[in-house]
């Protein structure tokens, strides 16, 4: 799925399970971390644009280097070194990483029906432990669109109710502004509804 969908899904886990900012940050980072093995695309495209010898970092390493147990354990270790101390929080980091794998497993197919995105769970050491789902839907499928819309709606609802959005991972000030704005909109909508269903004159 797209990085935005992964981020929203991991934020739903983080916001629902802990109020600690550092823990939330690392649960969300774990939710997007597997895709660091796709960053080779920048090198491939740069080499192509500069007319250098072509490289194949993206097709070779994306989903092989970090989309597995190795990536999960490295992410948990980095989170621990970065100050995530509670065991439950580290478990959530691990689970958030695997939620990403699950999302890719079900909905990351290429344009052709046979173009499955496989998970190399034991990569980058071996191709054993590779698996895929034959009903995997396309990356740009309506299912992913629907899931993303649902996550956006969920995030807005929780932001209004609990007063924190994914923006809080970046800036508390921006987050407060967003929360105030959303709550004002909700009050305006509620006021407009009351006017519409008020007694007829």
Segment interacting with Zn ion (CB under 5 A) among 49-57, 97-105, 124-132, 152-160: 97-105
Closer residue to Zn ion, CB minimum distance, 36 or 78: 36
**Phi then psi for 178, rounded to 5 degrees?**
-65, -45
Distance CA(7)–CA(33), nearest Å, equals 10
Q: Does 37 bind Zn ion (CB under 5 A)?
A: no
Among 5, 7, 27, 35, binds Zn ion (CB under 5 A): 35
Q: Smallest gap, in angstroms, from Cβ of residue 31 to Zn ion?
A: 10
Segment interacting with Zn ion (CB under 5 A) among 22-30, 33-41, 89-97, 149-157: 33-41
Segment interacting with Zn ion (CB under 5 A) among 73-81, 83-91, 100-108, 185-193: 100-108
Closer residue to Zn ion, CB minimum distance, 35 or 175: 35
User: How many residues bind to Zn ion according to rule CB under 5 A?
Assistant: 3
Count how many Cα atoms sit within 13 Å of the Cα of residue 118 in the half-sphere of its side chain.
15
Q: Which two tokens stand for residue 73?
A: 């354990």
Place of tokens 């809080």: 168
Residue closest to 91 by CA, chosen among 22, 23, 20: 23
- In terms of Cβ atoms closer than 10 Å to its own Cβ (0-12, 13-18, 19+), residue 106 is middle
Distance CA(152)–CA(138), nearest Å, equals 20
Q: Smallest gap, in angstroms, from Cβ of residue 145 to Zn ion?
A: 17
Closer residue to Zn ion, CB minimum distance, 18 or 31: 31
Q: How many CB atoms lie within 10 A of CB 139?
A: 16
Closer residue to Zn ion, CB minimum distance, 34 or 166: 34
Closer residue to Zn ion, CB minimum distance, 18 or 34: 34
In this structure, what DSSP letter does residue 109 have?
B
Among 104, 123, 144, 164, binds Zn ion (CB under 5 A): 104
Q: Which residues bind Zn ion (CB under 5 A)?
A: 34-35, 104
């Amino acid at each position: 799925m797209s990085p935005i969908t992964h981020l929203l899904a991991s934020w739903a886990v983080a916001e629902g399970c802990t109020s600690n900012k550092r823990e939330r940050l690392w649960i969300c980072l774990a939710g997007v971390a597997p895709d660091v093995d796709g960053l080779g695309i920048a090198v491939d495209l740069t080499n192509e644009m500069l007319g250098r010898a072509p490289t194949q970092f993206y097709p070779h390493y994306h989903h092989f280097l970090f989309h597995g147990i190795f990536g999960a354990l490295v992410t948990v270790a980095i989170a621990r070194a970065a100050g995530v101390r509670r065991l439950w929080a580290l478990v959530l980091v691990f689970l958030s990483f695997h939620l990403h794998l699950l999302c890719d497993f079900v909905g990351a197919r290429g344009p052709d029906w046979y173009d499955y995105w496989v998970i190399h769970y034991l990569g980058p050491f071996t191709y054993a432990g590779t698996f895929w789902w034959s009903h995997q839907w396309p990356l740009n499928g309506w299912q992913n669109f629907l899931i993303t819309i649902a996550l956006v709606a969920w995030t807005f609802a929780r932001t209004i109710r609990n007063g924190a959005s994914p923006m809080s991972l970046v800036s508390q000030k921006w987050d407060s502004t967003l929360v105030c704005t959303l709550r004002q909109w909700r009050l305006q909508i509620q006021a407009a509804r009351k006017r519409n269903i008020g007694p007829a004159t």
